[in-house]
Chains A and B, each alone.
Chain A
């Protein structure tokens, strides 16, 4: 293709070179507006094109993140504008003694474990199912994305009915297999059950999405790897764990990081699972209040933005640490090449 274009391109270059010399000719110091425009276009237009991103990001992305640190060190209450000034580390000190914070951290971690591990395991299995020669291949792939396009607000409301104590479908199904029975499970009464209910919503939402990420990686595994495996006599299940998983390890690490970042900012599900959602308490005694939810409550219900900002920073650090640990763990478990 490039060879056929070579001739006209080079002749074009010659023509342009001529024009350029004409422009910088000492006898023609005064540039016409056309040349000015051309120079502006060549030199500055790229910056004009990328400027919107940097403008928006600096004002609404980077600045708030940095400013968040400043707010965390100040008294900043929406209900008492007169109370201002530096608070020093008071907000952070309050954090360490705050039972609500530790409870929310515990909940967030519990829900994260119950959602991320099954989520990624099921995604692997769904991906390996999709990674066959299928009839109507596109439709299967589109089908697993149904949860992905469904608003979490909408699906959480469905699951909220699903997990209701008296007439919920979850209890009915469990009753069929002999669990619960006379005493139906009250999904909103204790931590473990609430966590399971919320984790179910998260799993439902993200399995298909992660499966497609894995599928993409699986399809780029060189075919001869499987030829070699067949010689060793590996069946499909062993093939998945011994060949496919180690080969797609970078993507697995990527999804682990994604689900850590997402899981630790879990907000919609715990908010709307609550029968009294506007309170943002995550259950009568904070059974399933997550950190993101607590930040919302502290900031916009208790109107203490300074403390909410400090909590955001703490969450940021926690996410960094957990994502780091998870990356190391995943590297170990999925047995990829050491790097």
Chain B
């Protein structure tokens, strides 16, 4: 490859197009992937997918298959049997926990989209005293790891009487600094000022502008933020464990950890439950993968 490059470019061939072709000075993203790249990527995919596949294998097996050496890599036929055992365990509330997870994740996602797009709109397109400082404050709060205030949050929730209820996991997530920041950036870049202004001149109220100009323009951002929020909320564990652990209202993640505790853990049950709780997210990745990828590449923040 570099043999070609050693010859100094003669001044005659300086048109950038020909030079690029001659010297292979192409950016990587313009270089077609070779077979080696595809092989390495396929290996990466294998590593990424294998634990999921194996979760399914164990979820469909019996205890003997699990103890086998070499390990089984073929799914069994006992998925429904294992699942039935999980659902009928009295003190785990698995069915209820799935409903709870749906309620919590849906409520948080819907509220996030609503409140963050409104606030993002205000910061992006409305003029009001102190908007700069307030936005700076929002950005600064991005750096605060709230998990560190978890002890005090528990006490606050105790005073409100919310510990052990779904409110304790829903309300703190209703609107986040990241969501506001993300929506603001998107609206600044996609909604033209003139459009907002001319609507204003026609006497449109703020909410009217939001509904008929901003909302249609930000659908892609809503999809991205919605998917990321749903995934993060569904998978959240530490705070739900603290506030909902040991109650009759666990989320599915807390219920799975209940399945996995005790002196003798029955893994085919645990993983049958885990697999069921993973399916919604796999479907989301399958349908909205493009949006999730875009959201992360645009600078989404780890939850």
Asked if A pairs with B, the answer is: yes
Binding site for B on A (CB under 8 A): 1-2, 5, 8-9, 12-13, 15-16, 19, 37-38, 41-43, 45-47, 49-50, 52-54, 56-57, 59-68, 70-71, 76, 126, 128-135, 138-155, 157-162, 166-169, 172, 204, 208-209, 212-213, 215-216, 218-219, 221, 223, 225-236, 239, 244, 258, 261-262, 265, 267-268, 271-272, 275-278, 292, 295-296, 299-300, 305, 308-309, 312-313, 315-316, 319
Closest Cβ neighbor of B286 among chain A residues: A142
Q: Quick check: is B89 within 8 A (CB to CB) of the other chain?
A: no
Residue pair A60, B172 in contact (C-beta under 8 Å) = yes
Q: In the bound complex, what is the Cα–Cα distance between A138 and B293 (angstroms)?
A: 8
Residue pair B25, A1 in contact (C-beta under 8 Å) = no
Least Cβ–Cβ distance between A139 and chain B, in angstroms? 8
Q: In the bound complex, what is the Cα–Cα distance between A57 and B177 (angstroms)?
A: 8
Residue pair A157, B274 in contact (C-beta under 8 Å) = yes
23 sample A-B contacts, Cβ–Cβ < 8 Å, listed by A number: A5-B194, A5-B195, A15-B201, A45-B207, A46-B127, A46-B128, A53-B176, A60-B171, A62-B144, A135-B33, A144-B48, A146-B48, A151-B234, A155-B52, A155-B55, A157-B55, A167-B67, A168-B71, A172-B69, A213-B296, A227-B23, A272-B257, A312-B149
Residue pair B237, A152 in contact (C-beta under 8 Å) = yes
Q: Quick check: is B190 within 8 A (CB to CB) of the other chain?
A: no
Q: In the bound complex, what is the Cα–Cα distance between A47 and B133 (angstroms)?
A: 13
List 6 A-B pairs, minimum CB-CB distance, nearest first: A230-B25, A12-B201, A142-B289, A64-B149, A227-B25, A154-B274
Least Cβ–Cβ distance between B97 and chain A, in angstroms? 12
Q: Please name all residues of chain A whose beta carbon is closer than 8 Å to the beta carbon of B122 when the two chains form the complex.
A: 45-46, 49-50
Q: Quick check: is B299 within 8 A (CB to CB) of the other chain?
A: yes
Q: Please name all residues of chain A whose beta carbon is closer than 8 Å to the beta carbon of B126 when the two chains form the complex.
A: 45-46, 49
**Which residues of chain B from 245 to 302 have a CB within 8 Å of any chain A CB?**
245, 253, 256-257, 260-263, 265, 267, 270-271, 274-275, 277-278, 281-282, 284-285, 289-290, 292-293, 296-299, 301-302
Least Cβ–Cβ distance between A60 and chain B, in angstroms? 4
Q: In the bound complex, what is the Cα–Cα distance between A152 and B71 (angstroms)?
A: 23
Least Cβ–Cβ distance between B240 and chain A, in angstroms? 10
Question: A-B contact count, CB below 8 Å?
Answer: 358
Q: In the bound complex, what is the Cα–Cα distance between A230 and B203 (angstroms)?
A: 58
Closest Cβ neighbor of A57 among chain B residues: B141
Q: Which of B80-88, B150-158, B215-223 contacts A (4 or more CB under 8 A)?
A: B150-158
Q: Quick check: is B242 within 8 A (CB to CB) of the other chain?
A: yes
Q: Please name all residues of chain A whose beta carbon is closer than 8 Å to the beta carbon of B58 when the two chains form the complex.
A: 158, 161
Q: Quick check: is B175 within 8 A (CB to CB) of the other chain?
A: yes
Closest Cβ neighbor of B245 among chain A residues: A300
Residue pair B41, A129 in contact (C-beta under 8 Å) = yes
Q: In the bound complex, what is the Cα–Cα distance between A169 and B282 (angstroms)?
A: 24
Residue pair A128, B28 in contact (C-beta under 8 Å) = yes
Residue pair B206, A140 in contact (C-beta under 8 Å) = no
Q: In the bound complex, what is the Cα–Cα distance between A152 and B289 (angstroms)?
A: 19
Least Cβ–Cβ distance between A178 and chain B, in angstroms? 15
Q: In the bound complex, what is the Cα–Cα distance between A49 and B155 (angstroms)?
A: 29
Known: A53-B176, A63-B152. 19 other contacts (CB 8 A): A8-B198, A46-B127, A57-B141, A71-B155, A133-B31, A142-B285, A145-B289, A146-B285, A208-B48, A221-B27, A225-B27, A226-B26, A235-B1, A265-B145, A272-B257, A276-B262, A276-B263, A300-B242, A312-B149
Which residue of A229, A271, A312 is within 8 Å of B25 (Cβ)? A229
Could you say which of A53, A60, A134, A172 has the most chain B C-beta atoms within 10 Å of its C-beta?
A: A53
Binding site for A on B (CB under 8 A): 1-2, 5-6, 9, 16, 19-20, 23-33, 37-38, 40-41, 44-45, 47-49, 51-52, 54-55, 58, 66-71, 115-116, 118-119, 121-123, 126-128, 131, 134, 138, 141, 144-156, 171-172, 174-177, 180, 192, 194-195, 197-198, 200-203, 205-207, 231, 234-235, 237-238, 241-242, 245, 253, 256-257, 260-263, 265, 267, 270-271, 274-275, 277-278, 281-282, 284-285, 289-290, 292-293, 296-299, 301-302
Q: Please name all residues of chain B whose beta carbon is closer than 8 Å to the beta carbon of A133 when the two chains form the complex.
A: 29-33
Could you say which of B30, B41, B123, B131 has the most chain A C-beta atoms within 10 Å of its C-beta?
A: B41
Q: Please name all residues of chain B whose beta carbon is closer than 8 Å to the beta carbon of A160 when the two chains form the complex.
A: 260, 267
Could you say which of B25, B32, B41 has the most chain A C-beta atoms within 10 Å of its C-beta?
A: B25
Least Cβ–Cβ distance between A225 and chain B, in angstroms? 8
Q: In the bound complex, what is the Cα–Cα distance between A57 and B27 (angstroms)?
A: 44
Q: In the bound complex, what is the Cα–Cα distance between A172 and B69 (angstroms)?
A: 7
Instruction: Assess A67 versus B152: contact at CB under 8 Å? Given A13-B201, A258-B301.
Output: yes
Residue pair B297, A161 in contact (C-beta under 8 Å) = no
Residue pair A215, B297 in contact (C-beta under 8 Å) = yes
Which residue of A38, A131, A233 is within 8 Å of B2 (Cβ)? A233
Could you say which of A66, A129, A134, A218 has the most chain B C-beta atoms within 10 Å of its C-beta?
A: A129
Residue pair A150, B201 in contact (C-beta under 8 Å) = no
Which residue of B45, B195, B235, B293 is within 8 Å of A153 (Cβ)? B235
Least Cβ–Cβ distance between A274 and chain B, in angstroms? 9
Q: Please name all residues of chain A whose beta carbon is closer than 8 Å to the beta carbon of B172 when the two chains form the complex.
A: 56, 60-61
Q: In the bound complex, what is the Cα–Cα distance between A315 and B146 (angstroms)?
A: 12
Residue pair B194, A143 in contact (C-beta under 8 Å) = no
Residue pair B267, A157 in contact (C-beta under 8 Å) = yes
Which residue of B29, B45, B235 is within 8 Å of A152 (Cβ)? B235
